[in-house]
A and B are shown apart, each in its own frame.
Chain A
């Protein structure tokens, strides 16, 4: 069931009431949350409940085995088996048909025609997210970052907890599992913050992301060859903002609903469009995935020894390319990852040289030179401009269904033909507002929660209800699926 629907509201109200009624009884409460999570997942498609349970079982048993084995080689073997099971399942569902299509094309080019066993595989919703959580649990047990759980209910609940099950955030075992061992608690500020996040998430998803998609991005990308220059530029920005609002909106609702159940999740997006460098952007965009890629992919590529120079650059680049490929079996995703990986590498290399030059300048002068305030502001502005445009231009590949559309987009963009045809003042308001709001302090919502928690329930209920009503009235009929459900 989708978050911004009456079905979910009724489901959540029931889970909230029953969950807190069971507060004094830890085990029954966990069973209730687990049952609710399986009901939530089964509501999409009950056929994949066995997959969810199977994935949880593999990771639970692997965690126990890794913890009980003495020798490092044996422990690594168990981790390898768990990785093969997790990634093999993910790979089968995501890439099986693509692999067969590519093989068929290849054989046709060789003059060989074969009937291939295409299966028209449905991609189980959320499979990437719960697979990544399972992998992080097993690896963290191996690295002794987290103790293995003895109770299967705890592990099953960690993997399947419904607020973050289908589209993240990817929660670490070290963050979630200790919360199951504490008596559940709800602070007034957390509850109010939860309501604020839910309203903010709904606004971003059902209003901002929707109208940017329907009124600008979809029409322009449907046929970029006839689009005006102004529309192409606007759609370039708008698509990045659409994905941000859609995805961070889902994360906000997930974190907000978890907060109302007494669980604390970390932020998944932190004003990424105010980043002044590519490194900073990835510290702020889909934080749970970028840190997952850093901790479980980059570190695996790097190996045990810390490396420097070209090997570091290679590993950063490969991590981003693989991250791109995870989104789908399409060259557009690979190129998207390669552009962003290349930008990260280039930025790192340039920064290293600038730091070295700056240090030599200081040595020559006998003191560390400090940049002027104007110089710092100019550098930050330039950094923001380059970062924002690198990200939004790369996103053209991400959005394009194939390379032809992406190439025609760039060709038409650099033809500088026409002004605007579909870009309106309303869309400018959405684009500028979405970027401008990112320059507010990072704790703006938390500070709002501190102020609002002084209100009585009736007052806050009226504000929350009015916000939901305005969002509902401004949004379209029905709810479009979240963009990241397809991954």
Chain B
């Protein structure tokens, strides 16, 4: 703990205000929109990967939902999806990686 830290009030970061030109503000807005689309795209791809390779996780999630038609529907669809992913292969990665980790955990000196 640096007890001798200076006590001057911290400076507030510069704020883009009316002095910035309209062109600069518009450019900043365009850049943000592009970056938001970029980040959204990254998340969408990650979600898709999780859906394909972690179908057993979706099954567990559906079963943990409170009872109702939403849970019932999701359970049926999640089971079908998992069966499909097992048939075509992606669902086999999870147990394979888990087995590898268990082997590492159980290795002794």
Contacts and interface: CB of A to CB of B under 8 A. Distances in A.
Interface of A: 6, 9, 13, 16-17, 20, 23-24, 143-146, 172, 174-175, 178-179, 181-188, 191, 194-195, 211, 215, 260, 262, 279, 282-283, 290-291, 293-295, 298-299, 312, 315-316, 319-320, 344, 420, 424-426, 429, 457-458, 460-462, 464-466, 468-470, 472-474, 477
A465 B57 contact: no
Interface string B36-54: 1111111111111110011
Contact of A465 (B35, B50, B107): B50
A464 B55 CA distance: 18
B50 A461 contact: no
B88 interface: no
A426 B104 contact: yes
Interface of B: 1-3, 5, 7, 9-10, 12-13, 15-16, 25, 28-29, 31-33, 35-50, 53-54, 57-58, 60-61, 93-94, 97-98, 101, 104-109
A299 B6 CA distance: 12
B28 A461 contact: no
Given A144-B9, A183-B29, A186-B32, A470 B38 contact: no
Highest count of chain A CB atoms <10 Å: which of B40, B42, B49, B93: B42
A23 B40 CA distance: 15
B97 A474 contact: yes
Contacts of B41: 457-458, 461
A282 B3 CA distance: 10
Contact of B105 (A194, A426, A470): A426
A291 B104 CA distance: 40
A291 B106 CA distance: 42
A279 B56 CA distance: 47
Contacts, number: 153
A461 B49 contact: yes
B66 to A, nearest CB: 12
A462 B45 contact: yes
Nearest to A215: B105
B74 to A, nearest CB: 11
A420 B46 contact: no
A312 B3 contact: yes
Given A424-B108, A457-B38, A457-B42, A469 B1 contact: no
Contacts of B33: 20, 23
Given A183-B29, A424-B107, A461-B49, A293 B40 contact: no
Nearest to B109: A425
A421 to B, nearest CB: 10
A174 B1 contact: no
18 contacts: A6-B57, A13-B43, A172-B10, A174-B10, A175-B10, A183-B16, A185-B31, A187-B31, A191-B35, A215-B105, A298-B3, A425-B107, A461-B44, A461-B45, A466-B49, A469-B53, A472-B54, A477-B60
B32 A16 contact: no
A178 B2 contact: no
Given A16-B40, A283-B2, A457-B38, 11 more contacts: A13-B43, A144-B9, A181-B15, A183-B16, A294-B2, A294-B5, A344-B1, A426-B107, A460-B42, A468-B50, A473-B98
